Structure 1
Amino acid sequence: MPRPTRQSPERGAARLRILEAARDVIRAKGYAATSVDEICVRAGVTKGAFFHHFASKEALGVAAAEFWGRSTGALFASAPYHAPEDPLDRVFAYLAFRRALIGGALWEWTCLAGTMAEEVHATHPAIADACGAAIFGHAATLEADIAAAMAAGGINAPDAPSLARHTQAVLQGAFVMAKAGGGEAAAREAIDHLTRYVALIFGRET
């Protein structure tokens, strides 16, 4: 994860440690099962410090989703899949990069935003909105490459924004399948099928 700058919303060691603790514990246990006390212990801060930075656990949930969007955004912005000259090659490189991220403890490679959105969409709409901004915001970063690849190939459908969103739907589904017992194999299988689907759209052999 990128280190915060002096001007970042995460400035301050205690606040950053709380956000990092929330990111990891909530991914591993879920929002409801994660307590403020547990986050404080994991972050090495007092409860007073927690409530100095966050008015409530829900406020932390919103901030954690926003932190996730910013930090993963920086990760993907600097990832090697942007290197190929051909936009379709960049799309396939993105899918390969997502596949390569799978490995280790389940919580380490699944999505905080997806995890929280599934759990709190009806009970904590502010958190769900922040999760949605992270997920849809990441999907939007793929649109330019998909649109350029479609233009180069004379392809008119599906439109680039919807295909970008579909990639995220498959990835989030892959995480659910992994958590439901399929593990790493289920997640990789889902991405492999997505890769073949994209190849079919563009007439590219895989």
Structure 2
Amino acid sequence: MARPSLREKIIESGVRTLHERGYAGAGVREITSDAGVPQGCFTNHFRSKEAFAATILDRYHERTQAIMDGTLRDKGRPPVERLRAYFDAITERLEAAGWRYGCLVGNMSLEVPEQSEVLRTHLVEVCRALTDAFAEAVRAGQDAGEIRGDLDAGDVATFLLAAWEGAMMRMKVDRSPQPIEQFKRVIFASILAPGVKAGSPQ
């Protein structure tokens, strides 16, 4: 197997470093040190820290999309089960991190919009893609009679993402899974069609 390029090592390390330390807390020195590469390698591959952060967001989003492909977009599951599978898959990752770091997209959404218009615009695009994936699952649930039909799918999707990010933010503060579990209980109790249990077709 080919050895990873220096650029790839910086990106892989950068996902972890920005996730754990935040945009402001992760300097070029920390990023390259964590990657085990000379500091000069950074400027060879990225024109700025801002451009680097955009690349990190893209890599993180690719990983999230891969999880969505196996959950939200899995047509072999009932739609509500797709939603639950997605939240459960992310919960496993949050638990593995000790309930400490939450979502990189949410973290950066709190930190960078006033610092960088480039990153703010990038975050808008990422959040739109996440919302679209939720909306697709919600519409499928409405078509199957699993999710309330009196709700606009786009509104539900926007609320799902906002509430999920908020739950992860509170999780980081509490260092506890309780906000995540509360989110799941309230969300599914709120959006399910009457007589439908979460994860079960009507």
TM-score category of the 2 structures, normalised to the smaller one: 0.7 to 0.9
Cα 1:120/1:71, change in 2 over 3 Å: same
Query: Residue in 2 aligned with 1:69?
Result: 61
| Stretches of 4+ aligned residues off by more than 6 angstroms | none
Give 3-state SS (helix, strand or coil) of 2:196's partner.
coil
Cα 1:181/1:85, change in 2 over 3 Å: closer
Mapped pair 1:162 → 2:131: no
Query: Residue in 1 aligned with 2:139?
Result: 147
Query: Residue in 1 aligned with 2:34?
Result: 42
Query: Residue in 2 aligned with 1:3?
Result: none
- d(CA) in 1 for partners of 2:5 and 2:109? 27
Contact 1:99 1:188 in 2 (8 A): no
Aligned with residue 190 of structure 1, among 183, 191, 202:
183
Match for 1:103: what amino acid?
Answer: E
Deviation per residue, 1:80-137 (Å, 9 max, x gap): 8725443333334334434444303247762111111110111112112222322221
- d(CA) in 2 for partners of 1:100 and 1:14? 30
Query: 1:41-120 alignment to 2 at 5 Å?
Result: 41-79=33-71, 82=74, 84-106=76-98, 110-120=102-112
Mapped pair 1:20 → 2:12: yes
Between 1 and 2, higher relative CO (CA 8 Å, sep ≥ 6) is seen in 2
Deviation per residue, 1:124-151 (Å, 9 max, x gap): 1211222232222122112222112213
Structure 2 residue ranges without an equivalent (≥5): none
Cα 1:25/1:46, change in 2 over 3 Å: same
Identity level (%): 23
Pairs aligned (count)? 196
- d(CA) in 2 for partners of 1:55 and 1:82? 38
State the TM-score, normalizing by the size of structure 1.
Answer: 0.81
Cα deviation for residue 203 of structure 1 reads 4.5
- d(CA) in 1 for partners of 2:116 and 2:21? 17
Match for 1:105: what amino acid?
Answer: A
- d(CA) in 2 for partners of 1:135 and 1:147? 18
Cα 1:150/1:170, change in 2 over 3 Å: same
